[in-house]
Amino acid sequence: MRLANGQDLESLMKGLFHIRTYGCQMNERDSEAVAAALTAAGYAAADSESEADILLFNTCSVRERAERKALGKIGGLVKLKRKRPEILIGLFGCMAQRLKNELLDKMPHVDFVIGTDRLADLPMVLADAAEKHARIAAVEPSDADSAAALEAMDGRLSPEDAGERPLSAYVAIMRGCNRFCSYCIVPYVRGREKSRNPERIINEAAELAANGVREITLLGQNVAAYGLEGRLAPNPGESPFALLLERLAKIDGLKRIRFISPHPAFFNDRLIDAIASTPKVCGNVHLPLQSGSDKILKAMNRGYTAAEYLAIADKLREKVPEMTFSTDVIVGFPGERESDFQETRTIFNTIEFDNAYIFKYSPRGGTKAAKLADSIPTEVKEERNHILLEDLKQAAVKRNESLVWDRKSPC
Ligand code: 5AD
Ligand code: SF4
C-alpha cells in the first residue's frame, strides 16, 4: 500500500507480529500490553500467525500440561524457521522465566526468551535479536526501579489499533505472590507481591470508562493482598483493596467491577462490607477453595480451614443474598484420601458454585509439594475430577430449573 507522500507503507513498518497466549487472564493482559508496546515501536499486528514475521508466545507453567502444550507448538516451528530463517521467534511469560536458557539450548530455532520481570524490555530485545542476529535470554530481574517496571506494563492498544471499542477490560493492579502454597510455581516465577500506585489505577480505569468501557476486571495473582506488600494476611479492619474498590466505583460511566483472584485469607470483614455496600462490585466472587479437607489445606499451606472458608461465603451471602461463587479445586494432591475428597465434595455441594475449575494435581519442580510422592494414581485424579464436574452440572440444572418461569403461577 502507498501513502499520499508516495512512501510504501510496508517499508515504514518494522514487521508484523503475532502473539499466542497460554494460561491466565494476567497473561492475556500482558499480551495486550506487549502488543501496544510493539505497535508504538513501529511494528503491526499480523492478521494471522502465518502472515507474521515475529512469532511471540506468552507461556504458562502452572501445570505441566500447559507447558507441554506450548512446548509442542513452539517445537513444531523448526520447519518454518528452516524455510523462513528471517522469522523471529520469542518466548515470554511464566514458562520462559522458569526454564530460561534451557529453552534456547533445547530449541535452536528460538531467538529470544524474556522473563516475567523484563517484559517491558521486549521491544528492545526484539530489535537486538533482529539487528545483531543474536540469541538473547533476558530473564534476570531488571535493574530498573521495580515500580517503574511495574507501571511500564500498563500500555493498551488504541480502539483504532485494536479494531474495536471494548465494553470490558482487564486492569492489572498487583503482580507476584508471597503466599507460597505448597503446590504452586507462581511465587517462583512471578516473584514477590508488588502493587501498583492507586492513582495510576484510578486514572487508567477512568480513561477506560471515558473510552466506553463499562466493566473492568481487576487482576492480580492475589488481588485482595493489594497494598499489603509482604504481609501474609491483613489486620482486622484493614483492606487497601476494599478502599480501591470503593474509589473505582466512583468513576462515572463504569458500571461493573470484577476481580480475580482473591485468596480467602485476605477476605476480612472490611472487604466483605465494601463488596456489600458497593453495588458496582459484581455479585459473583471467584474464591479459590483448592480443597475441603483441613488436612490437605494444611499440607497445601493455604492458611485457612474449610469452616473458615464457608464462613466467608456465608457472610457474603448474608449481606448480598444474590451472591454467587466460582472456585478452583485441586484433586489428587499428595496424600488425598477418599475421605479428604469427600470433605471437598461436601463443601463444594454446600456452597453450590456457579462455576468451578477443577484441576488434577500436577507436581511442579522446585515447589514444596513436589518433594512429596505424587501418590494419587491418574485414574483416581480423573475420577475425582469427573465427580466434581458432575456435581457442578447438577447444581447448575437445579439453579436453572428454579429460574424457569411457570406461566400458570401468578406473577
Ligand atoms: N497442580 C494443579 N493445579 C494447580 N494450580 C496451581 N498449581 C497447581 C498444580 N501444581 C491451580 C490452582 C490455582 C489455579 C490457577 O491453578 O487451583 O488456583
Ligand atoms: Fe499460587 Fe497460592 Fe499465590 Fe495463588 S495464593 S498464586 S495458588 S502461591
Residues, the chain, total? 411
Q: Is the CB of 367 under 6 A from ligand 2?
A: no
Q: Are residues 258 and 332 in the same domain?
A: no
Confidence band for 403, pLDDT divided at 50, 70 and 90? confident
Q: Which domain holds residue 236?
A: 165-280
Q: Are residues 271 and 389 in the same domain?
A: no
Rounded mean pLDDT of 128-140? 89
Amino acid identity of residue 29, one-letter, is R
In a domain? residue 202 = yes
Distances from the Cα of 169 to the Cαs of 153, 213, 252, in angstroms? Answer: 15, 7, 16
CATH number for the domain harbouring residue 171: 3.30.750.210
In a domain? residue 321 = yes
Q: Are residues 267 and 292 in the same domain?
A: no
Share of the chain above pLDDT 70, in %: 93
Q: Are residues 249 and 335 in the same domain?
A: no
Q: Which residues on neighbouring strands pair with residue 199, listed in sequence order?
A: none
Q: Are residues 115 and 174 in the same domain?
A: no
pLDDT at 177 over 60: yes
Residue 130 neighbours by CB under 8 Å, 6+ apart: 14, 15, 88
In a domain? residue 127 = yes
Residue finishing a domain among 144, 175, 209: 144
Pocket test for ligand 2, best of 60, 193, 221, 228 (most atoms within 8 A of CB): 221
* pLDDT value for 39: 93
Rounded mean pLDDT of 391-411? 83
> Which of these, 212, 180, 219, 231, lies nearest to 369 by C-alpha position?
180
How many domains does the chain divide into?
Answer: 3
Q: Are residues 255 and 298 in the same domain?
A: no
On average, the pLDDT of the chain sits at 92
The atom number, within ligand 1, closest to the CA of 288 reads 18
Q: Are residues 125 and 205 in the same domain?
A: no
| H or E, element range at 294 | helix 294-299
Confidence band for 236, pLDDT divided at 50, 70 and 90? confident
Q: How deeply is 134 buried, as exposed, middle or buried, from its count of CB atoms within 10 A (0-12, 13-18, 19+)?
A: exposed
Residue finishing a domain among 280, 310, 341: 280
Q: Are residues 331 and 213 in the same domain?
A: no
Q: Cα of 302 to ligand 2 centre, how many Å?
A: 9
Q: Is the CB of 364 under 6 A from ligand 1?
A: yes
Q: Is the CB of 308 under 6 A from ligand 1?
A: no
Distances from the Cα of 36 to the Cαs of 132, 134, 324, in angstroms? Answer: 24, 24, 35
Decide: pTM greater than 0.85.
Answer: yes
Q: Cα of 129 to ligand 2 centre, how many Å?
A: 34
In a domain? residue 156 = no
Distances from the Cα of 93 to the Cαs of 99, 176, 190, 243, 307, in angstroms? Answer: 11, 13, 9, 30, 36
pLDDT at 133 over 90: no
Residue finishing a domain among 248, 280, 312: 280
C-alpha cell at 388: 466434581
pLDDT at 151 over 80: no
Please count the helices (runs of H) and the strands (runs of E) in the chain: 17, 14
Q: Are residues 249 and 369 in the same domain?
A: no
11 versus 83: the higher-pLDDT residue is 83
Rounded mean pLDDT of 253-262? 97
pLDDT at 410 over 70: no
Q: Are residues 122 and 23 in the same domain?
A: yes
Q: Are residues 103 and 196 in the same domain?
A: no
